Amino acid sequence: MKRIAFISLVALGLSAAGASLLAQAAKVGGPAPAFTATDDRGVTHKLADFRGKFVVLEWHNNGCPYVQKHYNSGHMQALQKTWTDKGVVWLTIASSAPGLQGYVTPEASQAFMKQAKGAPTAVLLDPTGALGHLYDAKTSPQMFVIDPKGTVVYNGAIDDRPSPDPSTLQGATNYVANALTEAMAGKPVSVPVSVPYGCTIKYAGGR
């Protein structure tokens, strides 16, 4: 796992400052780690392209019951639409390795989002897990909110109901919507971090 992460760091053009760099990655209040990644339509995106906008990262595995809670209900798609309409860049990320749950080919990824009527800005395909490891993403779903200056202002669960049961959507506090609302109003994010819940991300070679 460490070897893959090292190679990925070098490949992404970052200096390999050792384990402490990974440990500091994606800390709330710190800079969002720079990345370059390709989406399911073959388009390459850099985080730096989105400087000046809010960016949401949504770790995703369409076979995971916790993710299905949010997609089968249309809840995640509604969030994507609401916030992209307000100018937020929403990046859905699949970090599962080939052969493991949640892995999608570009075609399968497009087909899933089409039938789900999802509205992310792009779906990034990360089968090597490099992007997931860079952010130390642990579960699907797990959410990050990055402000227009490139600072991580939220890292954690999508809401306060750590269960795959669809009935728990009712009355849930959505940490992502709240973080975006507060940050856009220039206020401090009142819940900047929470314990992410979901299925473990099915990384190549384990985490």
Partner 1 sequence: MRAWLTALIVSGLTSLPAAAPHARSAPTGHAKVTLIADATTVAAGDPTWIGIRFVLDDGWHVYWRNPGESGTPPTVRWDLGDSTRRVGNLEFPVPERLVSNGDVSYGYRGEVVLLAPLRVETGGALGAQPGRSSDPALVRATVDYVICESVCVLEHASPSINIAGARAKQPAPDAPRLASWRARLPQPMPATWHATASLGTAEFTLTIETGHRETAATFFPQNPAEIDDGATAARVEPIGRGLILHLKKSAFFSKVPDALNGVVVLSGGSAFSVHAPLRGKIAPEAMFPRNYSGSNFFSEEAP
Span interacting with partner 1, options 4-12, 36-44, 87-95, 160-168, rule CB under 8 A: 160-168
CA 93, 98, 101, 103 dihedral sign is positive
Cβ at position 176, least distance to partner 1 in Å: 15
Range in contact with partner 1 (rule: CB under 8 A) among 45-53, 74-82, 111-119, 152-160: 152-160
Beta bridge partners of 37: 45
- DSSP state letters, 78-134: HHHHHHHHTT-EEEEEE-PPTTSTT---HHHHHHHHHHHT---SEEEE-TT-HHHHH
- Strands 89-94 and 55-59 turn out to be parallel
Q: Which stretch binds partner 1 (CB under 8 A): 8-16, 34-42, 61-69, 118-126?
A: 61-69
Site for partner 1 contains 194 (CB under 8 A) = yes
The single-letter DSSP state of residue 188 is: P
- x-marked contacts with partner 1 along 67-106 as a string, rule CB under 8 A: ---------------------------------xx-----
> Binding residues for partner 1, per CB under 8 A?
1, 20, 23-24, 27-30, 63-66, 100-101, 136, 138-139, 153, 155-156, 162-165, 188-190, 192-200, 202-203, 205-207
